[in-house]
């Protein structure tokens, strides 16, 4: 008998042994526990409970555990189930009281329930060991229940559990790489006209008071190094009004906050023709890291010495009514699908569209799944908190999201996600990692095509390279992109902000538009 045949015989023998053995209380508990884990409901509820009642580190651990589960589940559904087409076990010998009322129709290898359970438990244990230890017995019981109820062989469960553990470690590694990223200056051209303010006189810094401890630390450095700078603290609806007012009286507009706050300040600075000083004070600070701004100390030195660079910005402008003739296909290698260029200095608010939102983006612009997720998160966050709102939003989007049907450069498209980055993003992990330069004057355009289910397609696209073409994912670089026939009410997101899209849009870049203080 071959090794494979021997393994299969032992696998069936162990399955039969479990079927014959009477486990006190098992008939009452294990089938119900397995059903509770269907579609990740058990783990989603656990994550919500931790996010609602746990500490900040516990909420962070729950988020990473959920990411581990998502990675394991997507891998199982996109690769695992279709690579090994193993039939489900025959239920001979399994007591009827244990059997599920509705038998699974997918292939048997590997066990998705086991992968999800062990991915969640591993992701939680790696970041919050005590919580992980509490969840581990439940995860093991869910995995065992799959053999106990007769829907999986033991080897299916073992393989799924192993894959879940790997997913937990993979997410930790990705998180460590993201957290360990260091700001590295790019090749942006020097701005020779930026004023030097040795004591900060003429600098007005608007601070998002809701940014937390990072912003407070930056303010301490600012007040010590640039004592004559004016500091305005505000949050919420007041923020944009204060930025506009500050731009009217400042020689240099400063901002302290996260990417959304920096976007609002950049828009005010561009419209007023002022240089911008960024004091990183948010959670992620993508723009600051990609530009090479490590912290408030370096920004203060750059202002005092008058050292700055010119960076490009992305722009979305409500366009005219759609034209009938199709243009070049954005999927083509030539990358020639672009609308007529607009004047580099034009204010996006001046575009057509009858008052529809227009603006700049320093990092990313998107239509589809991500704006919908952001919409749900903004709706629920004031009621249940940011962490639970994110989990609930992801669940809603994956269950109810439909592809967006629109026209790209005159050609009809159905997309789960349209992403445009201000410059080329690198990395093949769950999200684009960083850019080498903010002076590239190109859009990093990525499409996740409609069809199938959104979760597997989004995960598969996320792991594709930065420039790739497949039935799921297309990526290329373009100077401009024309979007027409956008369904009414379709949301768009830019730098973490949310708005409703106009019926027709032009997305492009404005090279060397913004002066930003930076050393080196």
Query: What is the tens place of the pLDDT at every residue in 268-322?
Result: 999 999 999 999 877 668 888 888 887 788 899 999 999 999 999 999 998 764 3
What pLDDT is stored for residue 141 in this prediction? 86
**Among the listed residues 112, 142, 123, 133, the one whose alpha carbon sits nearest the alpha carbon of residue 47:** 123
What pLDDT is stored for residue 205 in this prediction? 94
Q: 210 vs 54, 203, 206, 495, CA distance in Å?
A: 21, 21, 12, 17
The pTM of the whole model exceeds 0.85:
no
Query: Residue 211 carries which DSSP code?
Result: G
Instruction: Judge contact between 181 and 289, C-beta under 8 A.
Output: yes
What pLDDT is stored for residue 336 in this prediction? 35
Helices (H), 366-429: 369-384, 386-400
* CA distance linking residue 57 with residue 190, whole number of Å: 41
Q: In degrees to the nearest 10, what's the CA dihedral of 383, 385, 386, 389?
A: -60
**Among the listed residues 64, 102, 69, 109, the one whose alpha carbon sits nearest the alpha carbon of residue 88:** 109
What pLDDT is stored for residue 339 in this prediction? 35
What pLDDT is stored for residue 244 in this prediction? 94
What pLDDT is stored for residue 338 in this prediction? 34
What pLDDT is stored for residue 394 in this prediction? 72
What pLDDT is stored for residue 322 in this prediction? 39
What pLDDT is stored for residue 328 in this prediction? 40
Q: What is the CA radius of gyration of the chain?
A: 26
* CA distance linking residue 210 with residue 207, whole number of Å: 9
In the chain, which residues have pLDDT < 70?
1-8, 11, 15-16, 18, 20, 24-28, 56, 77-86, 90-106, 108, 176-186, 211-218, 283-284, 320-358, 383-391, 398-400, 427-433, 452-472
Tokens for 167, please give them: 């997913």
Instruction: Judge contact between 119 and 109, C-beta under 8 A.
Output: no
Residue 43, burial from CB neighbour count under 10 angstroms (0-12, 13-18, 19+): buried
What pLDDT is stored for residue 331 in this prediction? 43
Backbone dihedral angles phi then psi of residue 519, each to the nearest 5 degrees: -80, 150
What pLDDT is stored for residue 241 in this prediction? 93
């Amino acid at each position: 008998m071959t090794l494979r045949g021997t393994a299969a015989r032992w696998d069936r023998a162990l399955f039969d042994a479990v079927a014959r053995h009477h486990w006190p209380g098992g008939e009452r508990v294990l089938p119900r526990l397995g059903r509770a884990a269907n579609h990740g409901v058990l783990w989603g509820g656990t994550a919500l409970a931790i996010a609602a009642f746990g500490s900040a580190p516990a909420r962070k651990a729950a988020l990473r555990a959920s990411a581990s589960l998502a990675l394991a589940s997507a891998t199982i559904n996109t690769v695992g189930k279709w690579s090994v087409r193993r039939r489900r076990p025959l239920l001979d010998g399994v007591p009827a009281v244990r059997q599920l009322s509705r038998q699974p129709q997918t292939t048997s290898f590997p066990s998705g329930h086991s992968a999800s359970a062990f991915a969640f438990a591993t992701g939680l244990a790696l970041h919050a060991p005590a919580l992980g230890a509490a969840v581990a017995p439940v995860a093991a019981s869910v995995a065992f229940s799959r053999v106990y109820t007769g829907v999986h062989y033991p080897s299916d469960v073992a393989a799924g559990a192993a894959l879940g553990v790997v997913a937990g470690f993979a997410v930790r590694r990705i998180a460590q790489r993201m957290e360990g990223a260091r700001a590295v200056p790019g090749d942006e051209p020097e701005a020779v006209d930026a004023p030097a303010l040795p004591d900060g006189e003429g600098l007005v810094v608007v601070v998002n008071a809701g940014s937390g401890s990072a912003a407070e630390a930056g303010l301490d450095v600012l007040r010590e190094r640039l004592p004559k700078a004016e500091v305005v603290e505000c949050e919420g609806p007041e923020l944009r009004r204060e930025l506009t007012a500050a731009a009217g009286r400042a020689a240099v507009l400063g901002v302290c906050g996260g990417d959304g706050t920096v976007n609002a300040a950049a828009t005010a600075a561009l419209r007023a023709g002022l240089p911008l000083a960024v004091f990183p004070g948010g959670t992620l600070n993508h723009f600051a890291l990609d530009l090479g701004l490590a912290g408030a100390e370096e920004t203060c030195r750059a202002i005092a010495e008058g050292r700055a660079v010119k960076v490009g910005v992305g722009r979305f402008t409500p366009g005219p009514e759609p034209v009938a003739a199709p243009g070049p296909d954005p999927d083509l290698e030539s990358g020639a699908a672009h609308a007529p260029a607009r004047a580099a200095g034009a204010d996006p608010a001046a575009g057509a569209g009858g008052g529809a939102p227009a603006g700049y983006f320093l990092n990313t612009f998107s239509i589809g799944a991500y704006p919908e997720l952001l919409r749900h998160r903004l709706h629920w966050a004031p009621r249940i908190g940011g962490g639970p709102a994110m989990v609930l939003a992801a669940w809603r989007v994956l269950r109810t999201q439909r592809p967006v049907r629109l026209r790209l450069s005159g050609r009809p498209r159905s997309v789960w996600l349209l992403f445009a980055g201000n410059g080329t993003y690198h990395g093949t992990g769950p999200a684009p990692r960083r850019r080498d330069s903010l002076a590239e004057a190109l859009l990093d355009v990525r499409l996740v095509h409609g069809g199938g289910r959104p979760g597997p397609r989004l995960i598969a696209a996320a792991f594709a390279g930065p420039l790739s073409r497949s039935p799921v994912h297309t990526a290329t670089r373009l100077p401009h992109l024309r979007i027409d026939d956008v369904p009414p009410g379709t949301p768009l997101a830019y730098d973490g902000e949310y708005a409703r899209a106009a019926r027709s849009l032009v997305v492009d870049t404005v090279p060397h538009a913004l002066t930003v203080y930076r050393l080196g």
